[in-house]
Structure 1
Amino acid sequence: MTRGSTGTRTLIVEDHTLFAESLEIALSIEGYDVQRLAVPSSATTTASLLASVARVRPRIVLLDLDLGSFGDGTRLINPIARMGANVVVVTASLDRARWGECVRYGARKTMSKAQPLQEILAVVRRINHGLPVMDVQEREDLLALWHHERQDRQERRRRLEELTAREREVLGHLMAGHPVRDIARLSVVSEATVRTQVKSILAKLEVSSQLAAVGLAFSLEWQPPTVHRVS
């Protein structure tokens, strides 16, 4: 039995086949004109994927964020919204700052895949009937989390930029899993010198361990200068 969907064209952009099929069946039963966009198994350009979305001309798009080899689906939100579609993000990510980023770029709603399917369908129904799906407080809370995370990320990147050229090389070695003694041998300096450099790195990054420094660098997808392989 349909609920007044009047064949609303709905597109599912999701690389998890079982979840996508569940959504497709549930929406079809309610009378929506549902299509699934096949997410390429190999890397493709954003423009190519957006062209596929545009050909469907959906009114509602259910979008995952983690799209396999394509990568982060966040970059699709604004272009799809600008096409006139209502974007509902349905994701396994529980990072609410990331949810706020989705709202910032134009998503009408961000939801967890762990939520009951009926709750996802209820959001689609409300959008189809022109009703709000997110109150002002929820929106402001998510945007505040995104803004805070963005500022924090910028601050962590600023700390990385304060490293000297030599400290960047040492951090690169640490990211590659090289111990202090091997870094010293490769650089033809004493272990004490390298330990002093590591201590300076930790102080500038405001972390208490080599592991934390490496984790910070990886979290920002920081690229160290090319370092020589330790044999």
Structure 2
Amino acid sequence: MRNPRGSTKVALVEDHLLFAESLEIALGMEGYQVRRIPLPARPSSLGAVLASVLRVQPRIVLLDLDLGAHGNGVRLIEPLAKAGIAVVVVTGSLERTRWGECLRYGARTVLTKTSPLNDILATVRRLNDGFPVIDRAVREELIAEWHQNRVENHEARRRLDDLTPREREVLRQLMQGHQVRDIARINVVSEATVRTQVKSILAKLEVSSQLAAVGLAHEAGWRPSDV
């Protein structure tokens, strides 16, 4: 359903000041009621940001994903969508699995911050006029990629959970960039002992190199603090 632009509220949730100001000016010139949601100077919960958005009662929200100390903006998508708000993610991330996650939780589309400003404005116009803003096949493909990635990460976490405490410590040190000889020196053991531990790690993770083991851990979101 087409709405007069002057009655359409558009909220911006963006921690990059210059980018937010550019969007605010451009949307204002198009005739929309634009509200830039201020992010607290100190880190706060995303619940506070969500409450600020809902108070504005926007029809459309342009949402960044990486909100610095305030957390991952993807967590705002579902509650905003359930409130009947059209969420457009505008992000610097090029990870298709993150795009798929956004769409899975209710975002209407995902645009990159390198997109021409006119593309962002055109998306807002189409939403305001009641038109779709992403091809259904593209949407389903991105969601499928996210789901497959989630399954693979779950399996990777299962393998990581099979590591012994000592193997987890060795993997943590590999992730920090240490070589086998460094790990042996730090842990006061022989290089042969560390090589045996590394071999066991590779076998359990079903990878063929230390680099692949580190990559798998990063991809699964495993952090040294998990040790």
Give TM-score scaled by structure 2 length: 0.90
Correspondence for 1:10: 10
- Structure 1 segment 86-165 matched on structure 2, within 5 A: 86-165=86-165
Evaluate the alpha carbon distance shift between residue 223 and residue 57 of structure 1 in structure 2; reply closer, same or farther with a 3 A threshold.
Answer: same
Report if aligned partners of 2:46, 2:71 keep a CA contact under 8 Å in 1.
Answer: no
| Mapped partners of 1:226, 1:87: distance in 2 | 33
Correspondence for 2:78: 78
C-alpha RMSD of matched pairs (Å): 2.1
Query: Structure 1 residues 49-58 or 160-169, which shifts more?
Result: 160-169
- Fraction of identical pairs, as percent: 63
| Mapped partners of 2:40, 2:142: distance in 1 | 30
| Mapped partners of 2:70, 2:77: distance in 1 | 14
| Mapped partners of 1:40, 1:214: distance in 2 | 35
Report if aligned partners of 1:168, 1:225 keep a CA contact under 8 Å in 2.
Answer: no
| Mapped partners of 1:40, 1:206: distance in 2 | 44
Specify the SS of the correspondent of 1:84. Answer: coil
Gaps of 5+ in 1: none
Specify the SS of the correspondent of 1:35. Answer: strand
| Mapped partners of 1:130, 1:166: distance in 2 | 57
CA deviations 1:123-145 (Å, max 9, x no partner) are 11111111111221111111111
Report if aligned partners of 2:153, 2:219 keep a CA contact under 8 Å in 1.
Answer: no
Evaluate the alpha carbon distance shift between residue 138 and residue 179 of structure 1 in structure 2; reply closer, same or farther with a 3 A threshold.
Answer: closer
Evaluate the alpha carbon distance shift between residue 177 and residue 113 of structure 1 in structure 2; reply closer, same or farther with a 3 A threshold.
Answer: closer
CA deviations 1:97-153 (Å, max 9, x no partner) are 111100000001111111111111111111111111122111111111111111121
Post-superposition shift, 1:17? Answer: 1.3
Does residue 195 of the first structure (1) align with residue 195 of the second (2)?
yes
Amino acid at match of 2:65: L
Correspondence for 2:220: 220
Specify the SS of the correspondent of 2:10. Answer: strand
| Mapped partners of 1:86, 1:94: distance in 2 | 21
Post-superposition shift, 1:215? Answer: 3.4
| Mapped partners of 1:78, 1:18: distance in 2 | 27
Amino acid at match of 1:136: R
Post-superposition shift, 1:222? Answer: 2.1
Specify the SS of the correspondent of 2:6. Answer: coil
Post-superposition shift, 1:37? Answer: 0.8
| Mapped partners of 2:173, 2:94: distance in 1 | 32
| Mapped partners of 2:173, 2:134: distance in 1 | 46
Post-superposition shift, 1:205? Answer: 1.8
Specify the SS of the correspondent of 2:89. Answer: strand
Post-superposition shift, 1:186? Answer: 5.0
Gaps of 5+ in 2: none
| Mapped partners of 2:218, 2:41: distance in 1 | 25
Amino acid at match of 1:180: V
Correspondence for 2:50: 50
| Mapped partners of 2:70, 2:220: distance in 1 | 19
